[in-house]
Chain A
Amino acid sequence: MFGNLSDRLVETFKNLRSKGKLSAADIDATLREIRRALLEADVALEVVKNFIAAVRERALGDEVSKALNPAQQVVQIVNEELVQILGGEQKRISFAKNPPTVIMLAGLQGSGKTTLAGKLAKWLKDQGQTPILVACDLQRPNAVNQLQILGESVGVPVFAPEAGNGSGNPVTVAKDAIKHAKQKQFSVVIVDTAGRLGIDEELMKQAKDIRDATDPDEVLFVIDSMIGQDAVNVAKAFEDGVGITGVVVTKLDGDARGGAALSVAQVTGKPIVFASTGEALDAFEPFYPDRMASRILDMGDILTLIEQAQKSFDEEQAMEMAEKLAKDNFTLEDFMDQMQQLKKMGSIKNMLAMMPGAGKLRSQLDNIDEKEIDRTEAIIRSMTPKERKDPKILNGSRRLRIARGSGMTVTDVNSLVNRFEQAAKMMKTMAKGGNPGLPGMPQGLPAFGGAGSQANKNKKAKPKKGGKSGNPAKRAAEAAGISIESQGDSGSGSAFGLK
């Protein structure tokens, strides 16, 4: 496979660094790479063309030539433009003044409407609303049934007078549902409709009729993040056919880059309201344009990563650790502490995958054995406190005992001890060199030696994209500041993007 955008841009910018200034030709070379990256992320061609033209215009202007690091300035522009098209800031659902608020879902077959209806119902319920689900997909076999099961599992009633499977009139169902909701005083009505192709006029008319019958406050267009170039046609068809007020991108827990989101936002001019990120019924969150931009460009989700790190690392502990390092009494016990801290951050694989440039590492990431950390822990736990403090006393018979106690081999024990010694040495050097960057992080990571042993498993603590704290803009600024400090002298990898 081809390297990701980050890697390619780093390559493109290599030659530029000494120059300090970008020529028009340099910018064009950069934009070619960006064009390719966007196309590989399935952004529609016409959207890419307009986008590149806009970026080029800005890039040729003053802000770039006067910038300290023009290359990064270009990426910054790309990012800003992306975020802007993706909606600038979050959009919220608009609730009707006189309940019930009616939300209609529309989209292609298999885009995830019915599942989304269940998630949306749960989300609204958790916000104190009293939603009701309406089964208007009378086309797909057992779609009604599916909605009923979903409704039951989230504790939301389902209005389903027709059994579906090709019989019944969805428009009538929709009308009756509104009446029913008013009578029973439900605050939100979620209408699930049949999946349809953009070119299917008959079904499109049916959707329009449902819309006219229910006069929805929101018509949410549900689109699969894996969709390709056809996203523009589909979005246009739905915008023209039904008229949409917002977009929901589904299956974002996959590894598709989701360029379609950009196409749809651009073509329809409608905001993306929600992101659906998994099969569980709470895998549902507001859409963050900045994060989506990073994903499309494959720049890594550095914001989430930093947030995660800040959450998990106890600053005090980190200071203590630094002190210990300086005094040269870093023990296996501390080693284990560090590992547990890392564990709190979630899967190492996920964490590394969020870092810019990680695309390059992807194949190596796949080789990381997430269980390794558990094994290491088992070995350390099989040691006596004395041994943990002073690994030098570990002679052959002690090592054999530890191996037996932890269910590992003596070789494993040996290699752990070696790794520990190396790590301790490395950290001592680092501590002396002084690196006041991100608390815990720079000291923490090298402690694990080679990539093969960087491992961890704790799926529950998996990093979520929707960290909820603070002001994103401010956080971004802080994050950028931290990166400058911590990556300042590390050279190549940090050459672009957030530095």
Chain B
Amino acid sequence: MAGLIFWRKKKEDKAQDVEPAVIPVIETTLDQPDIEPEVHDSVIETEVIAESVIVTETVLEAVQLPKRKFSGGIKSLFSRIKFDVENLNDLEDVLIQADFGVDAAESIVAQIKSRAKASGAKTEGELKQILTDLLTESFTREDIALKLDSGVQPYVILVVGVNGAGKTTTIGKLANWLVQGGAKVTLGAADTFRAAAVEQLATWATRSNSEIVKPTTEGQEPASVAYEAVEKAIANGSDIAIIDTAGRLQNKQGLMDELAKVRRVIEKQTPISEVLLVLDATTGQNALAQAKAFAEVAQVTGIVLTKLDGTAKGGIVYAIQDQLNLPIKLVGVGEGIDDFAFFDAEEFAQGLVG
């Protein structure tokens, strides 16, 4: 599943001819049929209220992005231990080493034990299947696709996270991907704090053929840069605006307040479609604290798990999904501009269990 799509307005000149053809487009590209009618309805509604024009102009077309490889980078948990009924307790250790955390590891092992007992599973293959199923189930959610379907454009994506998680790189990759899919993208360099962060984003803008809005004065208020970026995205007819923010540790209240302000200021112009929290897969148990704090302040809608190409497994996302109900939407699996994909529960689980 999970090819990404975003929905954009058909160009006006084509609109009239296209209407009948649109329904098949939706059917072939939208993977989650249950949200389909909703999407369509809400779009019509907003358009009618906004312009009270004929319905044909509200037609959206789905934009499909190029497919990316996902699981290549993930290393199996089981390179060292043998997995059988006797040493199921060792599984707990393995999960702990993958940063699942003590509680999650205990609970997963307990679930596997009870499932194995119920099904009489004994062989390594059977047990692995149980684990794969269990992980797939817990990571599978309906809301893992980017929610870019309201038709109210530009879609604004706000990217947040702690220092060094990979926000700017993530934005570069995402922008490149969207542009390849035919979208017009404007980046907002609202990380006005870190030395050369603006230039780093500008380099990515060039690489990905995106527009960029930079601060006009040094150390400009991040919220004002974000505002200007969205303003420009609206003016230049961008499909998507992506706003970079400075890395901040979640226990710094002042900086978290600043983030809340960036959010508020953007929403004065247009609703924010996605707030993506970038998490480094090497992060340990603190990732939970990060997710909690950012979810509260910035109303995070999804997680980007970066640096999955290393030896880290990012097991803490299990606890994050479990406790905070936040979907993982994207993963970074390498340093190349194309090393980026949609999160896929099954592939992730299979990659881990190996």
Contact residues of A with B, CB < 8 Å? Answer: 2, 36, 39-42, 44-45, 108-112, 115, 118, 139-143, 145-146, 148-150, 153, 165, 197-199, 224, 226-231, 233-234, 251, 253-257, 259-260, 279
Contacts and interface: CB of A to CB of B under 8 A. Distances in A.
Interface of B: 93, 96-99, 101-103, 162-166, 168, 172, 193-197, 199-200, 202-204, 249-252, 280, 282-287, 289-290, 307, 309-313, 316, 335
16 contacts: A45-B93, A141-B172, A141-B204, A142-B203, A146-B194, A146-B196, A153-B195, A165-B203, A230-B99, A230-B311, A251-B162, A254-B250, A254-B286, A255-B250, A260-B284, A279-B163
B289 A230 contact: no
Contacts of A256: 284-286, 289
A195 B256 CA distance: 27
A197 B249 contact: no
A253 B252 CA distance: 9
B96 A45 contact: yes
A110 B311 contact: no
Contacts of A231: 282, 284
Contacts of B309: 197
Interface-central residue, A36, A153, A226, A259, by most chain B CB under 10 Å: A226
- Determine which residue in A150, A224, A231 has the highest number of CB atoms from chain B within 10 A of its CB, and name it: A224
Contacts of B335: 109, 139
B305 to A, nearest CB: 13
Contacts of A45: 93, 96-97
> A-side binding surface: helix, strand, loop or mixed?
loop
Contacts of A257: 285-286
B280 A110 contact: yes
Nearest to A41: B285
B107 to A, nearest CB: 13
A40 B164 contact: no
Closest 4 CB pairs of A and B: A228-B284, A110-B164, A42-B284, A146-B196
Nearest to B161: A110
A142 B199 contact: yes
Contacts of B251: 253-255
B9 to A, nearest CB: 33
Contacts of A153: 195
A153 B280 CA distance: 29
A153 B199 CA distance: 17
Given A110-B166, A254-B251, A226 B286 contact: yes
Nearest to B101: A40
Contact of B164 (A2, A199, A224): A224
Contacts of A2: 103
Nearest to B254: A459
Contacts of B98: 229
